[in-house]
Amino acid sequence: MIEFNRVGKSYGGVRALDDVSFTVGAGSITGFLGPNGAGKSTAMRVLAGLSRPSSGAATVLGRPYAELDRPGSQVGVLLDASAQHPGRTGREVLTLGAMMLGLPASRVDEVLDLVGLTGQEARRRVGGYSLGMRQRLGVGHALLGRPRVLVLDEPANGLDPQGIRWMRGLLRGLAEAGCAILLSSHLLHEVEQVADRIVMIGRGRVLAQGTLAELGRGRSLEQLFLDLTATTDRSPA
Ligand SMILES: Nc1ncnc2c1ncn2[C@@H]1O[C@H](COP(=O)(O)OP(=O)(O)OP(=O)(O)O)[C@@H](O)[C@H]1O
């Protein structure tokens, strides 16, 4: 459902992605890991059509994002939970999103319920939201069109323990319903619990991919991460 095929991306002399290939299938959650500056957000931006690859191709449901019919209904994207207009209320953000997708207003209430934002919270301006509330709103925005593919950049960042548990249940439920989920996170313990597969990158290159059992061979995800990234610098060449 998600496919990176030899994707490269350069910014001037900086090689942010170098020959990146992996897939995410229906009904599975892939944890996308790597140190700061490894290229995770760049890869997700390329996948969501916000940035052009310098080489190779990233496709969703067999096509580049920009060529999808009604992409917002097929692919849910959360790249920056703080990107929402601070002057709008949570309900306004979701209502505008629903209008863009041609969805009934009732979907806004369903989504608020799904992400655990109360009616009172939804009436507040996003500028006054905590990071955790913004994450819930961002996930809700991504889920509006009941997409089959989800691309989430650090959605658990800023959530409290209850929020993290809620997110885990939500993502597992979506995957069980057939959704393909690409999830970046620095919360390794969380990824360990929720992801079926791991793709680890460093300096823009895929360092390892597979199930944790295949890759870890008894090591925790944290130890695997530290072992694999010990030999790579944080930033691209
Ligand atoms: N618009 C840009 N212009 C120039 N360089 C960029 C741009 N976007 C990203 N980079 C560089 O590309 C590299 C990869 O950055 P990216 O944000 O994708 O990493 P990341 O793995 O998401 O990091 P983090 O875990 O810190 O979010 C970094 O060296 C970054 O400085």
* Residue 236 pLDDT exceeds 70: no
pLDDT tens-digit map of 179-212: 999 999 999 999 999 999 999 999 999 999 999 9
Classify 128 as helix, strand or coil: helix
Residue 80 has a pLDDT of 83
- Quick one: pLDDT at residue 81? 73
Q: What is the mean pLDDT of residues 24-35?
A: 96
For 61-121, where are the E strands, in sequence order?
75-78
Specify the amino acid at residue 105.
A
How many whole angstroms from 56 Cα to the centroid of ligand 1? 18
- 10, 11, 20, 151, best to mutate for ligand 1 pocket (most atoms within 8 Å of CB): 11
| Nearest CA-CA partner of 4 in 21, 18, 17 | 21
Parse the chain into domains and list their residue ranges: 2-229
The pLDDT, as a whole number, for residue 218 is 87
Determine the 3-state secondary structure of 8 from DSSP.
strand
pLDDT bin (cut points 50, 70, 90) of residue 235 is low
3-class secondary structure, 191 = helix
Contacts of 212 (CB under 8 A, 6+ apart): 192, 195, 198, 221, 224
pLDDT, position 233: 53
Tell me the pLDDT band of 51, cut-offs 50, 70 and 90: very high
Taking all residues of the chain, what is their mean pLDDT, rounded to a whole number? 93
Is residue 138 lining ligand 1, measured as CB closer than 6 Å? no
Q: pLDDT per residue over 208-234, tens digit each?
A: 999 999 998 888 999 999 999 886 655
Query: What would the pLDDT profile of 119-144 be if each residue is shown by its tens digit?
Result: 999 999 999 999 999 999 999 999 99
For 60-88, the pLDDT digits (tens) are 999 999 999 989 889 999 998 778 888 99
Mutate to test the pocket of ligand 1, among 9, 40, 47, 234 (most ligand atoms within 8 A of CB): 40
CATH class of 2-229: alpha beta
The per-residue pLDDT for 171 is 96
Determine the Cα–Cα distance for residues 95 and 183; give it in Å rounded to an integer: 25
DSSP state of 126: G
For the segment 45-70, the average pLDDT, to the nearest whole number, is 95
Cα 234 to middle of ligand 1, angstroms: 10
**216 three-state secondary structure:** helix
Tokens of 220: 């925790």
Task: State pLDDT tens for residues 148-164.
Answer: 999 999 999 889 999 99
Which residues are within 8 A (CB) of 227 and not within 5 positions of it... i.e. 6 or more apart?
A: 219
What tokens were used for 226? 């530290």
- What pLDDT does 232 receive? 60
